Structure formats: structure tokens, C-alpha cells
């Protein structure tokens, strides 16, 4: 391996091949701090050509490699395993905005650009790059693409997959595929772009991308509605979409338990309603016309929902600050959970029409198996995506309860699959859910995935142990 | 082959294995009547299980198969070659709407459903399935998916790819992959769905799909603008998108030459402007609110465009009949071309920002090579998609001019690729553009496509001679 590392140093320079334990440490532990892997070295190329040269070296010396962006993933997809034979290949130094084309409404970026940097570069040209998620200050667009990240704007703009027109990829053979097309329509052969998106670095390394931009909305307005049940939330979603079409840009469900948790842990945050209600929906409306238009549209729709008893109560934010306050309630749910102690998390999706039935059916199953357990259920209802987290009963420690993780997963995931849902909505598979994937996917589907993996990466050096 | 056909008859019944020339004829000639292939038989299964059994038989006897939907393709993708050794596998009898879920805004359909049938089933539930194209009365949704069809609503709703959430596919081994998921978010492994979409039946046979539905707009309104140049059309596009956001659902460019051709061939159609203008744009606006809202939005935006001298003149349709009349002008361009005689067609796309430069650069190249040739240039400008057709100079017969097809293609496609465009925007590759694909794609990309083809279809029985 000395020869291999010497060769890597000749490619990127001594300073960018890290092998001292202290230097490597930040690259080896996952975002949630649950696992620390080992690596031969951390490689930090600065150009696509350097990435390609390093991959050729990995192929020649049969060294497995783990591509890494901002290392904010939630499924152990971007850290190496405990074996110590792999290298981490960090894309962080490929961080240039290559081009913004406001007429084509596209931008071409390096994979290592931070998401927030991409958002800001779009805004500087009067455009919107709509991908938005909690880690946006540190995650990279390459990681967003490799995990097909979701976030809070999927209802209107789609997942990261829908926001990408073209890719540049270094193949497992160390060749560069220049697929940086800025085209809305292109039917010339197989859709390689979408194969690399969401493949979590197991088929190749995304080094650049052409992203879709949108006109900046003229105004956004937020409201919080209180409702008797998840069924009412579904009725509200349909009513809002009928009234507002694609102006409805956010629709987030939160249970009373979630907001109580936030109120306990962050007492200074707003408390919009005096009374308690079983469920709440945070809605965001964006208008390409004016604030007046957005407010009128939102108030009309909420009025119709109140008339039909779909909604029990509602507040419409009267200012940007009030809007931000309502969003803070939503964004503080995971933080409040973290302060309250560890719990068992699920990132699931369902057909939107089955969500109320899923919630009604799964709670009793968990209660029967784990009496007194607490459900922290919230998420992007408009996309069918729930963060369905299970916290310990009163009097049981988090550590004791976490020993039930596999059993809790089985109850929740069996129910999800029974309702036609997915065990990973927006976080991916990584190493964490690899066994769950194998458990739930059909042999036909697994065999096709394995055939593609073997065809594109016959040496098996690309992020081994992840996904498949 | 007698054993093979006997086996096929045992699977689907004697009546559904056609081998008499007269019975097979409608399945062997392409839509435009340019090519007639030969086949061993035409197989007409009625169920997914029958499709799978037939594919297993093809694999066992090594009989190549050509999947076929409505046989309306434009690139010779759904007819067999002249060898006579293949079978056509028609999906037309799999034509059930399996389920409509208006709350999830999805419908599950058999691949052989006619597109219009799908649109009508959605409308019956108060929903919109937005895919719309000229052949919608006879093309099937399976063919739309296999070619990733485009059409007139791509600007707002995307290509067929963006309208599909899940697939059911019979693999080249005759297994059934049940990927009929109705999920907006699902990150569980490789994106097999998008690999089969657009693969033109070379990787497997799409037998069913889950399609996305949208709320029906409350009103649509159409306008025709006259402009000095394609550059002005791009300025208008950006202005309209800034003013109207996603309410802008159509944006079609037509040159003066196109409208003159329509006026000559169809003199009864409306003539909206007294004066002649170099370019015209047909715009459609849809509102989720009201007709009044749509009209106000459109008139404001056109007013701004007139103020800035982007637009020379404009008419807004005052009724549904007037809207239909304006759309007829656009839809009659290909019909007027056909009446005027054969020409050399190109289905190309470009970055939207490069379209005016492409038009300005490519005309002189063609004029230099083929003096006096006529350009019939129109298309979905909002998607960067032009139908860029070249007709003979006055005094030269269409037949004589068509002998230049390869040379004309080379001039046009070289220019397209030079501007970062695609030689097939929405029609696919089929057998017609296979050599062009090989000419323009990089070896890296071709090799990845070939590796995937070999991995999934190692016997090479799936629609051989198409795409690759």
C-alpha cells in the first residue's frame, strides 16, 4: 500500500493525502455520531482529472473507496467500515460554481459545492434553486444527488432527482463521463443520469451537475391549521391543491405530541393556539404574482376548509417574522427530540391516501408490543413522507429502549410495506438499512440491481457494503 | 420454430398468435409508412402472466422479440427488421385502467391503455393526466413510457418520465418485476424505473405503470404573439415565467414560413394578424383559480412585453373556440408540411438560451450547402425542443431532395451538438437514429449503455437493432 499512497501523493500533492489519525478523524465518523470507521487514507483531490486518476489507482491496487461530500448523511453511506482497507475520497475541494445560465434556468456546479452556496449563487442571478433541508449549511450537492435528497420543497419542485438535468461522473474505471447537458428533453439512449442519482456512490462518483433553476416567487406566506385527525389533514391537502394548484409549496404534518415536546424543550418559541388539538398542519403558499395574491389565495382556501369543518382553527402569519416562527416549530421537532433523548427513527413514505390508515393501524401494533411507547410522528405529508419516531415509555431509559431497535423496525417497516410504502423515503440505504433492503425487496429487483452493479463496477471497489 | 409457435398458441390461444401475412401487416409497417419489416408471428397476450410466459419461450428458443404498443413511433422502434426471425409482442390487449386513487393523485394502468383513455379516466375523477401529443388517440401509455414521450405540456408537467411513479416490467428472463409504487419519495436502491423508461423495449417490457395525476386547472387561456426574432421569443419566455410562474403551461414557437404554409394548405383556418411578422409564439396559461385570474395574468404579462418592445402585436383568445383556433394553427404545421410534400425532419433540443444562436447559425450553413432550401422551424420553445425540418428549394422535387438526407442530417446534427443540444428530443432512437447515436455519443457513455444492456439482457433478445 506504500506504493499506492505514494502514487496518490503524486496525483494530489502530499498535503491532500491524509493518513494521520487526527487528520482523518472528521472524515471517519458519521453525522449522528453513531459509528466510526477506519481508513487507509483520506484523499482530497481538487479537480475532476485528479478524481479520475485516484480512481484508476484504486482500481489498479484494488483499494475500495468511499466517496464523501459534506458527510451529513443519516444512513452510514459516506463513512468507511471498520476494516481499514478503504480510502475516503472527499469531494469537498471541488467547490466551484462553474456557470449560471439564467435564460436556460440552469447552473453547472462542482459536486463539492455546499447546498447553501448553490442556493445563494442562484439567488444572485434572481433565480431559485429550491432544494432545502436541515443540513443545507454543510451538505454538498454531490451528496444530495447521490442520495436523491428530499427536504421541504418536494411537494412543488420534486426531489433532487427532479432538479438535475445533467451529470459529470467518474466511472469505476477512472474514466470521465461528460453528461453535463442543460436540456429539458433528451431521449438519446438509457437514462444513466438517474441511475447515478441515488446510487450513493456505489456505481461511480458524481463530480459535477447541471441543476434546474426556477423563477423566484414574489411572495411566500405561511399558515398553521389545527385539525381533529390525520384524515382531516388529507382532506385539507386535497382542498388546498384544488384551490391553489402548484402555489402550495409546503404541507407539513405535526401531532400534538410533537408540539408539546417542542414547547417543553424550547419554551420561548411561539404557541399559536390556546387550546390543544390532535394534529397540526404547517402550510406554505408561494405566489409568482404578489403577497396580496398569496394572502388572498391562502385565506380563501382556509375559509373553505373551516366552512367544511376540515380545520378546527387556523392562524395565517402576518409577517415574515411570524412565518419564520411557525417554521421554527416544525424545525425544532428533531432538536426537541434530541434534547429529550435518543429514540428509534424511521424515514418512511406511503401513498398519500394511505397515511391516515397507516397511522391508525401502526400505533396500536407498537402499543401492543411496547406498552406505553411514545410516537413522534411528523413530516412532509404532501409527499407521503413521515418521520415516524418511537420514544421510550415513561420510566424506561432511552438506552434500554434502544435495545428494541430491530424489533421496533420490524413492526414499523412491516406495516409500511403492507400499506404499499417505502422504508427509506429520503435518506437512502447506506450501510444502515442494507439488511432491511435485502429483507423487503423482491429477488427480481435485487438481482437486477446486482447485475447493474457488477456490470458497471466489476472490481467492486465503489463504496462496498453500501446499498447492496 | 413450429414448436415455439405451438407453445405460444398454448399460452395465449390460437386466435392470438397471428402468422398469416394479412393479419400481421398492420403490425409490421411503421406509422409514417417508411419501412415494412418481417416477422415470424405477432403475439397478442392478454395478461402480464402471458407476457412473461411468452418472453420465457422467446428466451428458450432464442427468438428475438419486438414489443409494440400503438405502433405510432417515429423512429422505427416498434417494428421488426427485414430478417423475419423476430416476433412482434403486442401489448394492445392489456388495456385496463386498474385503479384511480384521487387522494394520492395516481392511477395504475395496463401498458396497452390508449393515452386518450388514460386522460379520460383521470378526468372522470376530476383529475388531470397532462401528457398530450398528436397521436394520443392511438398511442399507448406503454409506448409513451418506453420512448419517454414529450408533447405540449412538458413546460409545466415534464416528460412522461416525470409523470410516472412506478412500473411493472417483464424482464428478458420472463420474470415479473412488480414496481407499481405510488410513492412521491422512495430512495431504496437503484432507480430501475427510470432505466426502463426511455429504453424503447430493449431492456424489458413495461406492462403496467403508476401515473401521477394533477388537479384539473379551473381555466386555460391562449394567446398568440408576433415577434421580430427568436431572441425576442426567448425574452418573452423569461418575462412570462417571471410573471406567471408555473401557470404558463404552453409556449410554442412558429416562424412566418410555418404559418404561411398552413394558410396555403388550409385556407379556412384563422389568420390572426393582418401584417406579416418574422416569428410567432403561441402561449397557454392555466389557472387553478378562475378564468378571470388567467385572463388578468396573461393580459398583464403581454402588456409588459408590448411596453418593452419584446412583442410587436398580440391577440388573446376571447373564447374556448378562439383558443382552439389558435392551437389549430400550431397543430396544422406538420399536416401542411405533409400536404406540401416530404421533407427532412429533425427532432432536436437545445439549451433554451442557445436557441436563437442555433437558428441564426444553422440556416446559413444549410443555405451554403443546399442553396434555396426552405426551413420549417417550429416547436416547444419553452422546453428547448425544435422541430427543425428542411424542405427542398423551389423547382427541386421532394424525392430528389430527400437523397441529401444524410448530408442534411450531418449539417443540422453537427450544429446541434456544437450548441450543446440533443439529436433526439422526444422521439427516441429506434432503428432510425441508431447510427447517429453511435456517431455522437462518447465511448464512455456507449460502453456504459452496452454494459447495462448485456447485464440485463445477456441473450440479446429484447428489441435487437434498436438504440444500441
DSSP B329-370: HHHHHHHHHHHH---B--EEE--GGGHHHHHHHHHHHHHHHS
- The grid coordinates of residue B322 equal 378562439
Name chain B contacts of A467, Cβ cutoff 8 Å.
Answer: 189-190
Measured in angstroms, the CA of A248 and the nearest CA of chain B are apart by 11
Q: What residues have CB less than 8 Å from B161, skipping those under 6 apart?
A: A191, B148, B194, B197, B198
Q: What is the pLDDT of residue B289?
A: 93
Mutate to test the interface with A, among B185, B239, B436 (most CBs of A within 10 A): B185
Q: What is the dihedral of CA B302, B306, B310, B315, to 10 degrees?
A: 50
Q: How confident is the model at residue A406 (pLDDT cuts 50, 70, 90)?
A: very high
**Considering CB atoms only, which of B154, B241, B440 is closest to A184?**
B154
Of all residues in chain B, the one with the smallest CA distance to A449 is B190
Rounded Cα distance, B453 and B468, in Å: 9
CB pairs under 8 A between A and B: 271
| Cross-chain Cβ contact A425/B183 below 8 Å | yes
Helical (H) or strand (E) element with B280: strand B279-287
Whether B426 sits inside 8 A of A185 (CB atoms) is yes
Q: What span, in angstroms and rounded, lies between the C-alpha atoms of A375 and B82?
A: 64
Neighbours of B228 (CB within 10 A): 14
Q: State how beta strands A87-90 and A65-68 pair.
A: parallel
Which of B297, B427, B437 is opposite residue A189, by nearest beta carbon? B437
Are the beta carbons of A187 and B427 separated by less than 8 Å?
Answer: yes
A310: helix, strand or coil? coil
How far is residue B188 from each of residues A66, A205, A303, A354, A441, measured CA to CA in Å? Answer: 19, 19, 40, 19, 9
The reported pLDDT for the residue numbered B342 is 84
B interface test, pick of A185, A289, A304, A433 with most B CB neighbours within 10 Å = A185
DSSP structural state of residue A233: H
The grid coordinates listed for B212 are 401521477
Quick one: closest CA in A to B173, which residue?
A444
Contact B245 A215 (CB under 8 A): yes
Q: How far apart are CA B248 and CA B221, in angstroms?
A: 10
Q: How far apart are the CA of B177 and the nearest CA of chain A, in angstroms? A: 6
Q: Where are the alpha helices (DSSP H) in A133-187?
A: 141-146, 154-157
Q: Which of B274, B422, B258 is nearest to B340 (CA)?
A: B258
- Render pLDDT for A85-110 as a digit per residue (tens, 0 to 9): 999 999 999 999 999 999 999 999 99
Show Cβ contacts of residue A94 under 8 Å, excluding neighbours closer than 6 positions. Answer: A45, A46, A47, A48, A51, A110, A111, A112, A142, A207, A208
Which residue in this structure is represented by grid cell 412473461? Answer: B52
Instruction: Say which of B106, B190, B354 has its CB closest to residue A452.
Output: B190
Q: Is-contact A150 A426, C-beta < 8 A?
A: yes
Residue A467 pLDDT level (bands cut at 50, 70, 90): very high
- Predicted confidence at residue B4, as pLDDT, reads 98
Of B148, B382, B453, the CB nearest to A187: B148
Q: What is the pLDDT of residues A292-313, one digit of tens each?
A: 999 999 999 999 999 999 999 9
Q: Which residues make beta-bridge pairs with B287? A: B219
Say if the Cβ atoms of B104 and A351 lie within 8 Å: yes
Q: C-alpha cell of B328? A: 389549430
What SS3 state is found at A251? strand
- Paired residues of B374 in beta bridges: B391
Measure the CA angle with vertex A352, ends A348 and A353; round to 5°. 130
Measured in angstroms, the CA of A5 and the nearest CA of chain B are apart by: 27
- Whether B287 contacts B217, CB under 8 Å: yes
Cα of B140 to nearest chain A Cα, Å: 18
Give the Cα separation of B446 and B457 in Å (integer): 16
- In A, which residues are within 8 Å of B128 by CB distance? none
Instruction: With cut-offs at 50, 70 and 90, classify the pLDDT of residue A76.
Output: very high
User: A238-274 pLDDT, tens per residue?
Assistant: 999 999 999 999 999 999 999 999 999 999 999 999 9
Q: Would you call A425 and B187 a contact, using CB atoms and an 8 Å cutoff?
A: yes
Inter-chain contact B452–A456, Cβ cutoff 8 Å?
yes
Residue of B nearest to A159 (CA): B185
Rounded distance, CA A90 to CA A12, Å? 12
Confidence band (pLDDT; 50, 70, 90) for A211? very high
Instruction: Return the residue of B nearest to A192 by Cα.
Output: B195
Backbone φ and ψ for A388, nearest 5 degrees, come out as: -115, 90
Residue of A nearest to B151 (CA): A185
Q: From CA A285, how far away is CA B129, in angstroms rounded?
A: 23
Q: Tell me whether strands B279-287 and B248-255 are parallel, antiparallel or unpaired.
A: antiparallel
The rounded distance, in Å, linking the Cα atoms of A439 and A419 is 16
CA B259 to CA B328: how far, in whole Å?
A: 11
Residue B203 has φ and ψ, to the nearest 5°, of: -115, -10
DSSP B108-130: EEETT-BHHHHHHHHHHTTEE--
Question: CA torsion angle for B122, B124, B125, B128 (degrees, to 10)?
Answer: 40
The one-digit pLDDT tens for each residue of chain B (468 residues) are: 889 999 999 999 999 999 999 999 999 999 989 899 999 999 999 999 999 999 999 999 999 999 999 999 999 999 999 999 999 999 999 999 999 999 999 999 999 999 999 999 999 999 999 999 989 999 999 999 999 999 889 999 999 999 999 999 999 999 999 999 999 999 999 999 999 999 999 999 999 999 999 999 999 999 999 999 999 999 999 999 999 999 999 999 999 999 999 999 999 999 999 999 999 999 999 999 999 999 999 999 999 999 999 999 999 998 889 999 999 999 999 899 989 888 899 999 999 999 999 999 999 999 999 999 999 999 999 999 999 999 999 999 988 999 999 999 999 999 999 999 999 999 999 999 999 999 999 999 999 999 999 999 999 999 999 999
- In the structure, what pLDDT confidence band is assigned to residue A342 with cuts at 50, 70 and 90? confident
What was the pLDDT predicted at A436? 97
| A185 to B427: CB separation less than 8 angstroms, yes or no | no
pLDDT for residue B341: 86
Q: Are A288 and B421 an interchain contact pair (Cβ–Cβ within 8 Å)? A: no
For A162, name the nearest residue in chain B, comparing CA atoms only: B162
- For residue B310, list chain A residues with Cβ-Cβ distance below 8 A: none
Taking Cα atoms as reference points, which of A246, A195, A198, A305 lies closest to residue B105? A246
Beta-carbon separation of A171 and B441 below 8 A? no
Residues of B in contact with A181 (CB under 8 A): 420, 422
- Out of B105, B179, B238, the one facing A103 most closely (by C-beta) is B238
- The Cβ of residue A397 has, within 10 Å, a number of other Cβ atoms equal to 10
3-state secondary structure B212-271: ECEECCCEEEEEEEEECCHHHHHHHHHHHHHHHHHHEEEEEEEEHHHHHHHHHHCCCCCC
Least Cα distance to A27 among A85, A83, A74, A92 occurs for A92
Q: B50 to chain A nearest CA, in Å?
A: 18
Report the alpha-carbon distance of residue A65 to residue B39 in Å, rounded. Answer: 49
Query: B173 vs chain A: nearest CA distance in angstroms?
Result: 10
Residue of A nearest to B181 (CA): A420
- Other CB atoms within a 10 A radius of the CB of residue A372 amount to 10
C-beta atoms of A451 and B449 within 8 A: no
Chain A residues whose beta carbon lies within 8 Å of the beta carbon of residue B194: 191, 194-195
Mean pLDDT of A220-245: 96
Radius of gyration of chain B (CA): 23
Burial of B431-440, coded b for 16+ CB within 10 Å and e otherwise, reads bbbbebbeeb
Gap between the Cα atoms of B432 and B61, Å rounded: 28
| Contact list, A385 vs chain B (CB under 8 Å) | 184-185
Mean pLDDT of chain A: 96
Residue with cell 408471428: B41
A303 CA to centre of own chain? 33
* Nearest Cα to Cα of residue A173 among B449, B448, B453, B191: B448
**B109: closest CA of chain A, how far (Å):** 16
Nearest by CB: A199 against B150, B190, B456 = B190
- Could you report the per-residue pLDDT of A145-169, keeping only the tens digit for each? 999 999 889 999 999 999 999 999 9
Q: Tell me which chain A residue has its CA closest to the CA of residue B385.
A: A185
Q: What's B197's DSSP letter?
A: T
Cα–Cα distance, A197 to B190 (Å, whole number):
8
Distance from CA of B120 to the nearest CA of A (A): 19
How does DSSP assign B310-334, residue by residue?
A: S-SEEEE-SSHHHHHHHHHHHHHHH
**Gap between the Cα atoms of B249 and B155, Å rounded:** 6
ipTM of the assembly?
0.97
> What's the gap between Cα B11 and its chain centre?
33
Question: Residue A22: is its pLDDT beyond 90?
Answer: yes
CB contact (8 A) between residue A181 and residue B420: yes
At B61 the pLDDT is 98
Contact (Cβ atoms closer than 8 angstroms) between residue A195 and residue A203: yes
The answer to whether the Cβ–Cβ distance between B215 and A429 falls below 8 Å is: no
d(CA A89, CA A203): 14
Q: Do B422 and A147 make contact, defined as CB atoms within 8 angstroms? A: no
The domains located in chain B, with CATH, are: 2-90 (3.30.43.10), 97-215 (3.30.465.10), 219-338 (3.30.70.2190), 347-426 (3.30.70.2740)
Nearest residue, CB atoms, A191 vs list B183, B195, B456:
B195
For every residue of A354-406, DSSP letters joined together read: GHHHHHHHHHHHHHHHSTT-EEEEEEEGGGTEEEEEEEPPTTS-HHHHHTTHH
pLDDT of residue A32: 87
Amino acid at each position: 500500500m506504500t506504493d499506492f499512497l505514494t502514487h496518490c501523493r503524486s496525483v494530489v500533492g502530499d498535503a491532500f493525502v491524509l493518513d494521520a489519525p487526527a487528520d482523518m478523524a472528521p472524515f471517519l465518523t458519521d453525522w449522528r455520531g453513531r459509528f466510526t470507521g477506519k481508513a487507509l487514507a483520506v484523499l482530497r483531490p481538487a479537480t475532476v482529472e485528479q478524481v479520475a486518476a485516484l480512481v484508476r489507482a484504486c482500481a489498479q491496487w484494488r483499494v475500495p473507496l468511499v466517496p464523501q461530500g459534506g458527510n451529513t448523511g443519516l444512513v452510514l453511506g459516506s463513512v468507511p467500515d471498520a476494516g481499514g482497507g478503504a480510502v475516503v475520497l472527499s469531494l469537498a475541494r471541488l467547490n466551484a460554481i462553474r456557470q449560471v445560465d439564467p435564460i436556460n434556468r440552469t447552473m453547472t456546479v462542482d459536486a463539492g459545492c455546499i447546498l447553501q452556496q448553490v442556493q445563494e449563487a442562484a439567488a444572485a442571478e434572481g433565480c431559485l434553486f429550491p432544494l432545502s433541508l436541515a443540513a443545507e449549511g454543510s451538505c454538498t450537492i454531490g451528496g444530495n444527488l447521490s442520495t436523491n435528497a428530499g427536504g421541504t420543497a418536494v411537494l412543488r419542485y420534486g426531489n433532487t432527482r427532479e432538479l438535475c438535468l445533467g451529470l459529470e461522473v467518474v466511472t469505476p474505471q477512472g474514466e470521465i463521463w461528460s453528461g453535463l447537458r442543460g436540456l429539458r428533453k433528451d431521449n438519446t439512449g438509457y437514462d444513466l443520469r438517474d441511475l447515478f442519482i441515488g446510487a450513493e456512490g456505489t456505481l461511480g462518483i458524481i463530480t459535477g451537475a447541471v441543476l434546474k433553476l426556477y423563477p423566484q416567487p414574489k411572495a411566500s406566506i405561511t399558515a398553521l391549521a389545527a385539525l381533529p385527525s390525520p384524515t382531516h389533514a388529507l382532506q385539507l391537502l386535497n382542498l388546498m391543491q384544488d384551490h391553489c394548484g402548484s402555489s402550495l409549496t409546503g404541507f407539513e404534518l405535526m401531532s400534538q405530541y410533537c408540539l408539546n415536546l417542542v414547547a417543553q424543550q424550547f419554551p420561548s418559541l411561539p404557541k399559536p393556539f390556546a387550546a390543544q388539538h390532535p394534529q397540526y398542519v404547517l402550510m406554505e403558499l408561494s405566489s409568482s404574482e404578489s403577497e396580496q395574491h398569496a394572502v388572498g389565495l391562502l385565506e380563501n382556501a382556509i375559509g373553505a376548509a373551516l366552512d367544511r369543518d376540515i380545520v378546527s382553527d387556523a392562524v395565517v402569519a402576518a409577517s415574515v417574522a411570524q412565518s419564520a416562527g411557525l417554521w421554527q416549530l416544525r424545525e425544532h421537532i428533531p432538536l426537541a427530540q434530541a434534547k429529550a433523548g435518543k429514540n428509534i427513527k424511521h424515514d418512511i413514505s406511503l401513498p398519500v391516501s394511505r397515511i391516515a390508515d397507516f397511522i391508525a393501524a401502526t400505533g396500536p401494533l407498537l402499543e401492543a408490543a411496547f406498552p406505553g411507547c411514545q410516537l413522534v410522528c411528523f413530516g412532509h405529508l404532501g409527499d407521503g413522507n413521515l418521520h415516524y419516531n418511537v420514544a421510550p415509555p415513561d420510566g424506561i431509559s432511552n438506552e434500554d429502549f434502544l435495545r428494541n431497535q430491530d424489533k421496533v423496525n420490524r413492526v414499523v417497516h412491516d406495516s409500511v410495506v403492507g400499506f404499499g410504502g417505502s422504508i427509506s423515503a429520503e435518506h437512502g440505504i447506506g450501510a444502515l438499512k442494507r439488511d432491511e433492503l435485502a429483507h423487503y425487496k423482491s429477488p427480481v429487483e435485487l438481482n437486477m440491481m446486482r447485475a447493474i452493479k457488477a456490470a458497471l463496477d466489476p472490481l467492486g471497489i465503489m463504496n462496498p457494503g453500501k446499498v447492496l
